[in-house]
A and B are shown apart, each in its own frame.
Chain A
Amino acid sequence: MANREWPLWEVFIRSKQGLNHKHVGSLRAADAEMAIENARDVYTRRSEGVSIWVVESMNLFASDPSEADALFEPADSKVYRHPTFYDVPDGIEHM
């Protein structure tokens, strides 16, 4: 039997304070319009957002967890990439 489940969509919500859309979860919907409405109903019931993006999960490409060591570990030993080696002059606030 064919898979009769609706496609999976990933949902991104921009909150009132935030500038960027953040991934909040996923849901099923037959088309993009239904995905937006379902996202509104499932993920913004408590006034979490002012804007919604949805993208079909099949269109997302993810890094391979088994490659995590090769991808991310090399950065761990390069603390000098953090801007923490500067002396902040007196009187500079909000740093």
Chain B
Amino acid sequence: MEHLFEYVLRIGDDSLILGQRLAEWCGHGPILEEDIAMTNISLDLIGQATTLLDYAAKIEGKGKNADQLAFLRFDKDYRNLLLVEQPNGDFGMTMMRQFFFDAFRKPFFEALQHSKDEQLSAIAEKSLKETRYHLKHSSEWVIRLGDGTEESHQRIQESLDALYRYTDELFYSDEVQKAMESAGIAPKMDDVRSEWNKTVDYVLNEATLKIPDNQWKFEGGRRGMHSEHLGYILADMQYMQRAYPGLEW
């Protein structure tokens, strides 16, 4: 049960933090249409987070709800990937981050649909439809910018170089992951990784982009060891609930 709580938290926190990151674009998109597209995706992710964290709270059995998990934990209690907490940067950086994540989430949810945990399987089925669209959107942008002008190509290649080091963590495996895999609850990470590789190879090839030689890898998010960025995100997110406990509107 403790493993399941931890596992659901990981999936929920990925959606929550990336949703919050994308929401930062609200009103700042490069063009009105794209501003709305990014906030739509943000809302999809926050919707997923709500369902997942509600489920996590139920498993935890301490009488909490999704809001309390989202807004009242300390940074070390968050289990999201380092990738999703990285700053937005320019629009290309945001699309690159999104693409790496979406390319992971699609095969992940496809497999999670067959989870022995009925709740997770139902959440996966609903989220998969959203994720398919997210991936279509982000991969088209990576191709458009990579195979675009000299400047757009150079800039998105720099984003790729900066973010690639966080992608190995997508397939993080530890005691929790292994326990969930053998219980038939979690998808096998090796399978998800091979699907991710296929999508990434195809899209980066179309986009004329290259995976950097320096393959230094970062991980830590799944263990609660975050980059300094998460603290600032949480300060934004949690200020209201901490200053005015229980505030609703």
Surface stretch bound by B, among A13-21, A27-35, A55-63, A87-95: A27-35
Surface stretch bound by B, among A38-46, A69-77, A78-86: A38-46
How many chain A residues have a CB neighbour from B under 8 Å? 13
Q: Would A6 and B31 count as touching, CB distance under 8 A?
A: yes
A37 sits at the interface (CB 8 A): yes
Which residues does chain A contribute within 8 Å of B31, judged by CB atoms?
A: 6, 28
Whole-angstrom distance between the alpha carbons of A42 and B29 in the complex? 14
Q: Would B33 and A42 count as touching, CB distance under 8 A?
A: yes
How many chain B residues have a CB neighbour from A under 8 Å? 12
Interface flags, B81-117, vs A, CB<8A=1, else 0: 0000000000000000000000000000000000000
Whole-angstrom distance between the alpha carbons of A33 and B31 in the complex? 16
**6 extra A-B contacts, CB within 8 A, seeds A38-B33, A38-B36, A41-B37:** A27-B33, A28-B32, A34-B140, A37-B137, A37-B140, A42-B33
Distance in Å: Cβ of B57 to nearest Cβ of chain A:
28
Q: Would A33 and B40 count as touching, CB distance under 8 A?
A: no
Q: Would A45 and B40 count as touching, CB distance under 8 A?
A: yes
**What would 16 A/B residue contacts be, using CB atoms closer than 8 Å?**
A6-B31, A27-B32, A28-B31, A28-B32, A29-B33, A33-B140, A34-B140, A37-B37, A38-B33, A40-B133, A41-B37, A41-B40, A42-B32, A42-B33, A45-B36, A45-B40
